[in-house]
Structure 1
């Protein structure tokens, strides 16, 4: 296994070990899924994510197929869509964010075709027909163009359209703030997740339950986050987090996009450190 695949598995593990309200984690399963299924999914998808000779689209499709072969359900489509471009960007010797921008600009119709197949295979909740770039049809544009068309309703597509701005600013910003407080794991990962959940309506909730419900969850998350970041010992926030977790799951609300962005942030941070170490060893 190469270092990119290993970084992907470690990042997925970090996310699943963090008590993320409304999402699956080691403290509580939810939405018909368990933490073990997510960990098995990460192990299954990692070789495809780290495959140095594959395109972004081919990595996405292979990772989704490997996940289905392992767990028989969609546990990680959003994670894969976000992490495949980051992985290919990390194959350069330059700055990760700059390399990612170039990788997104080079996306093709073949990448779109592979990604559309992966999305259909995963059959994410709330998937319907779209007026433009419908995944049920052969693509008539590049993957980047298709993502730009969906950016106003899907935060993962938004990352493609705007060079992963949320990951590199909101996510990495929250991670660095938690590290400056010397918080141990899993609390920096929780800080990332809450920054996303409080930062904008989760598009997975919006797709399934409507934008109004997503906005309500965002408001509640902002209150939870305000209390969380005020703790000198973040472990004291665990009862508050788990109470919010139970309430969200009781209402069938799964902030899956916020969780996907959390993995992408931790993965981007690991890849950045890999690139720095690679340059230092040259």
Structure 2
């Protein structure tokens, strides 16, 4: 039975489970086919939208002057660049951002692309994520800095070193290391995406073990990130104290909550409270997409770790 609060904030989305995909298709000798990678990426983006994620845009409620349709379009138009055969990581990110900005006129998926591009490249090449990150070059750095300037994410501010308004450094990993203490996505680049298995995939496995359906498994992933670490997007726009406050608030609000019981009202109350204060845990949502994408790629045969 559908939840009675369903679809208050956006158009109906097709139900997709990123786990249920065609048999693995191979590109070259060892990697996945780029077309399959693009399909899995789009499915992960749509699955994330279909879940109730407090504070974010989702199929239950819009927010932050954005609608579900903006993100559906963004997934559609960015998939080609994200999965472009043979493309460098930076080119995938820059191409995805450019396509998104042309289609919806705002930044909806920079964080998603920053996280998913290395996964896509690793899956196509038949390499681990760590190997892909270790081989990033100056071209990747220049393309990523160009993508960030184009997307112009809110609250970015200025940095003493490796500021995105300046020339890109020779090493993207050096720039990410500089920002790692204040930005969880930057930290992912220097830790080999450690948060995805440790937080996201662990939450997904636990949710599946409890028998949750795909949408509620996705909610479980998002809540795991929201409660585990202060959200970087909130920290960037409102300060680290606000981000930690939201983390603690979410932890308290969700204590003892049983997702098997589909607690829509409780989650919508937290959702409304965060949105009323302009608090958008966007980085938690970005990592949720990356977790679903990683899981789908692994199910298709990619060995990312």
TM-score (norm 1): 0.93
Structure 1 stretches of 4+ moved >3 Å: none
Match of 1:66 in 2: 99
Q: Does 1:109 align with 2:142?
A: no
Instruction: Give 3-state SS (helix, strand or coil) of 2:107's partner.
Output: coil
Match of 1:219 in 2: 248
| Larger relative helix fraction | 1
Match of 1:280 in 2: none
Contact 2:59 2:68 in 1 (8 A): yes
Match of 1:249 in 2: 275
Alignment of 1:197-208 (within 5 A): 197-208=226-237
Contact 1:133 1:141 in 2 (8 A): no
1:129-149 deviation line (CA, Å, top 9, x unaligned): 211111111122311111111
Shift of 1:34: 0.3
What is the alpha-carbon distance in structure 2 between the residues aligned to residue 272 and residue 226 of structure 1? 31
1:257-279 deviation line (CA, Å, top 9, x unaligned): 000000000000001011169xx
Over aligned residue pairs, what C-alpha RMSD do you find? Answer: 1.3
Instruction: Give 3-state SS (helix, strand or coil) of 2:161's partner.
Output: coil
2:201 maps to which of 169, 172, 180: 172
Structure 2's unaligned 5+ residue stretches are: 1-33
The alignment of Structure 1 onto Structure 2 pairs a total of residues equal to 270
Q: Which moved more, 1:34-43 or 1:138-147?
A: 138-147
1:259 maps to which of 260, 280, 285: 285
Match of 2:170 in 1: 141
Match of 1:75 in 2: 108
What is the alpha-carbon distance in structure 2 between the residues aligned to residue 129 and residue 216 of structure 1? 24
What is the alpha-carbon distance in structure 2 between the residues aligned to residue 68 and residue 167 of structure 1? 27
Match of 2:224 in 1: 195
What is the alpha-carbon distance in structure 2 between the residues aligned to residue 241 and residue 262 of structure 1? 17
Match of 2:46 in 1: 13
1:79-109 deviation line (CA, Å, top 9, x unaligned): 0000000000101346xxxx10000000111
Match of 2:5 in 1: none
Q: Does 1:52 align with 2:85?
A: yes
What is the alpha-carbon distance in structure 2 between the residues aligned to residue 43 and residue 114 of structure 1? 21
Q: Does 1:23 align with 2:52?
A: no
Instruction: Give 3-state SS (helix, strand or coil) of 2:293's partner.
Output: helix
Contact 1:195 1:225 in 2 (8 A): no
What is the alpha-carbon distance in structure 2 between the residues aligned to residue 209 and residue 128 of structure 1? 12
